[in-house]
Amino acid sequence: MQIEKFNYDNKIVRDFALATLIFGVVGMLVGLLAAIQLYEPAANLGNQYTSFGRIRPLHTNAIIFAFVGNAIFMGIYYSLQRLCKARMFSDVLSRIHFWGWQLIIALAAVSLLLGYTTGKEYAELEWPIDIMIALVWVTFGINMIGTIVKRREKQMYVAIWFYIATLVTVAVLHIVNSLELPISLTKSYSIYAGVQDALVQWWYGHNAVAFFLTTPFLGMMYYFLPKAAGRPVYSYKLSILHFWSLIFLYIWAGPHHLLYSSLPDWAQSLGVAFSIMLIAPSWGGMVNGLLTLRGAWDKVRDEPILKMFAVGITAYGMATFEGPLLSLKNVNAIAHFIDWIVGHVHVGALGWNGLLTFAIIYWIIPRIYNTTIYSKKLMNVHFWLATLGIVFYAIPMYWSGFTQGLMWKEFTPEGTLQYPEFLKITLKILPLHMLRSFGGALYLSGFLVLIYNVVKTIRQGKLVANEAAEAPAIEKSMGHGSEFWHAILERKPITFTVLAILVIVVGGAVELIPTFTIKSNIPTIASVKPYTPLELQGRDIYQREGCNTCHTQWIRPFRSETERYMGEYSKAGEFVYDHPFLWGSKRTGPDLMRIGGKYPDSWHYHHMIDPRTMSPGSIMPQYSWLAEQDLDISTTPKKLKAMKTLGVPYTEYEIDNGNVSLKVQADAITANLKKEGIVMESQKELVAVIAYLQRMGTDIKKQTTASN
Partner 1 sequence: MKQYLANVQGVDGYLIFSMIVFMSFFIGLLFWVLKADKKYIDKMKNIPLN
**Helix or strand or coil: residue 684?**
strand
Exactly one of 135, 291, 478, 506 binds partner 1 (CB under 8 A); that residue is 506
Say how far apart CA 448 and CA 552 lie, in whole Å.
36
Residues 660-699, interacting with ligand HEC (CB under 6 A): 689, 693
Residues 523-542, mask of contacts with ligand HEC (x by CB under 6 A): -------------------x
Residues 388-447, interacting with ligand HEC (CB under 6 A): 422-423, 426
Q: Is the distance from CB of 553 to CB of 593 less than 8 angstroms?
A: yes
Minimum CB–partner distance for residue 277 and partner 1 (Å): 8
Residue placing its CB nearer to partner 1 in the complex, 244 or 402 = 244
Looking at the DSSP assignment, which residues form a beta bridge with residue 381?
A: none
**Helix or strand or coil: residue 662?**
helix
Q: Which residues are CB-neighbours of 525 under 8 A, at least 6 positions away?
A: 571, 573, 574, 699, 700, 703
> What number of chain residues touch partner 1 (CB under 8 A)?
44
Q: Which residues are CB-neighbours of 40 under 8 A, at least 6 positions away?
A: none
Q: Is the distance from CB of 565 to CB of 597 less than 8 angstroms?
A: no
Minimum CB–partner distance for residue 507 and partner 1 (Å): 8
User: By CB under 6 A, which span of 294-302, 505-513, 613-621, 630-638 interacts with ligand HEC?
Assistant: 613-621
Binding of partner 1 at residue 505 (CB under 8 A)? Answer: no
Residue placing its CB nearer to partner 1 in the complex, 55 or 160 = 160
Q: Which residues are CB-neighbours of 582 under 8 A, at least 6 positions away?
A: 119, 539, 542, 543, 547, 548, 553
Q: Is the distance from CB of 226 to CB of 292 less than 8 angstroms?
A: yes
Exactly one of 24, 119, 584, 590 binds ligand HEC (CB under 6 A); that residue is 590
Residue 183 CA, distance from chain mean position: 25
Q: Is the distance from CB of 474 to CB of 152 less than 8 angstroms?
A: yes
Minimum CB–partner distance for residue 368 and partner 1 (Å): 17
Looking at the DSSP assignment, which residues form a beta bridge with residue 117?
A: none
Report what 24 binds from partner 1, ligand HEC, none; CB cut-off 5-8 Å by kind: none
User: By CB under 6 A, which span of 98-106, 154-162, 391-399, 548-556 interacts with ligand HEC?
Assistant: 548-556
Report what 621 binds from ligand HEC, partner 1, none; CB cut-off 5-8 Å by kind: ligand HEC
SS (H, E, C) 142-186: HHHHHHHHCCCCCCCCHHHHHHHHHHHHHHHHHHHHCCEEEEECC
Residue placing its CB nearer to ligand HEC in the complex, 257 or 604 = 604
Dihedral of CA atoms 407, 410, 414, 420 in degrees, nearest 10, equals 40
Say how far apart CA 283 and CA 356 lie, in whole Å.
17
Residue 548 CA, distance from chain mean position: 14
Exactly one of 186, 380, 527, 615 binds ligand HEC (CB under 6 A); that residue is 615
Q: Between helices 236-250 and 493-517, what is the axis angle to 10°?
A: 30
Exactly one of 385, 454, 619, 669 binds ligand HEC (CB under 6 A); that residue is 619
Q: Which helix (H) or strand (E) holds 3?
A: strand 3-9
Binding of ligand HEC at residue 583 (CB under 6 A)? Answer: no
Q: Which residues are CB-neighbours of 675 under 8 A, at least 6 positions away?
A: none
Residue placing its CB nearer to partner 1 in the complex, 266 or 411 = 266
Residues 153-192, interacting with partner 1 (CB under 8 A): 153, 155, 157-159
User: By CB under 6 A, which span of 18-26, 234-242, 263-271, 545-553 interacts with ligand HEC?
Assistant: 545-553
Tell me which residue has its CB nearest to ligand HEC. 589
Exactly one of 18, 82, 525, 672 binds partner 1 (CB under 8 A); that residue is 82
Minimum CB–partner distance for residue 269 and partner 1 (Å): 6
Residue placing its CB nearer to ligand HEC in the complex, 75 or 567 = 567
Residues 175-214, mask of contacts with ligand HEC (x by CB under 6 A): ----------------------------------------
Q: Smallest Cα–Cα separation from 66: which of 96, 29, 27, 99?
A: 27
Query: DSSP for 462-514?
Result: ---SEEEEEEEPPP-----SS--HHHHHHH-HHHHHHHHHHHHHHHHHHHHHH
Exactly one of 54, 551, 556, 695 binds ligand HEC (CB under 6 A); that residue is 551
Q: Smallest Cα–Cα separation from 362: which of 599, 21, 8?
A: 21
Residues 235-254, interacting with partner 1 (CB under 8 A): 236-237, 240-241, 244-245, 248-249, 252
Residue 84 CA, distance from chain mean position: 31
> What's phi and psi for 7, nearest 5 deg?
-125, 145
Binding of ligand HEC at residue 567 (CB under 6 A)? Answer: no
Binding of ligand HEC at residue 595 (CB under 6 A)? Answer: yes
Report what 188 binds from ligand HEC, partner 1, none; CB cut-off 5-8 Å by kind: none
Minimum CB–partner distance for residue 550 and ligand HEC (Å): 3
Phi and psi based region of residue 303 (left: phi greater than 0; alpha: psi -120 to 50; beta: remaining): beta
Residues 271-310, interacting with partner 1 (CB under 8 A): 273-274, 277
Minimum CB–partner distance for residue 12 and ligand HEC (Å): 39
Binding of partner 1 at residue 101 (CB under 8 A)? Answer: no
| 3-state DSSP helix/strand/coil % of the chain, to nearest 5 | 70, 5, 25
Within 10 A of 370 (CB to CB), how many other CB atoms are there?
A: 12
Minimum CB–partner distance for residue 92 and partner 1 (Å): 28
Report what 249 binds from partner 1, ligand HEC, none; CB cut-off 5-8 Å by kind: partner 1
Q: Between helices 215-229 and 355-368, what is the axis angle to 10°?
A: 50
Residues 120-159, mask of contacts with partner 1 (x by CB under 8 A): ---------------------------------x-x-xxx
Exactly one of 1, 330, 415, 485 binds partner 1 (CB under 8 A); that residue is 485
> What number of chain residues touch ligand HEC (CB under 6 A)?
27
Query: DSSP for 253-311?
Result: -GGGGGTTSSS-HHHHHHHHHHHHHTHHHHHHHHHHHHHHTTT-HHHHHH-HHHHHHHH
Binding of partner 1 at residue 367 (CB under 8 A)? Answer: no
Binding of ligand HEC at residue 52 (CB under 6 A)? Answer: yes
SS (H, E, C) 542-560: HHHCCHHHCCCCCCCCCHH
Looking at the DSSP assignment, which residues form a beta bridge with residue 467?
A: 8
Binding residues (CB under 6 A) for ligand HEC: these are: 52-53, 422-423, 426, 542, 545-547, 549-551, 588-590, 592, 595, 598, 611, 615, 618-621, 623, 689, 693
Binding residues (CB under 8 A) for partner 1: these are: 79, 82-83, 153, 155, 157-159, 222-223, 226-227, 230-233, 236-237, 240-241, 244-245, 248-249, 252, 264-266, 269-270, 273-274, 277, 484-487, 506, 510, 514, 518, 520-521, 523
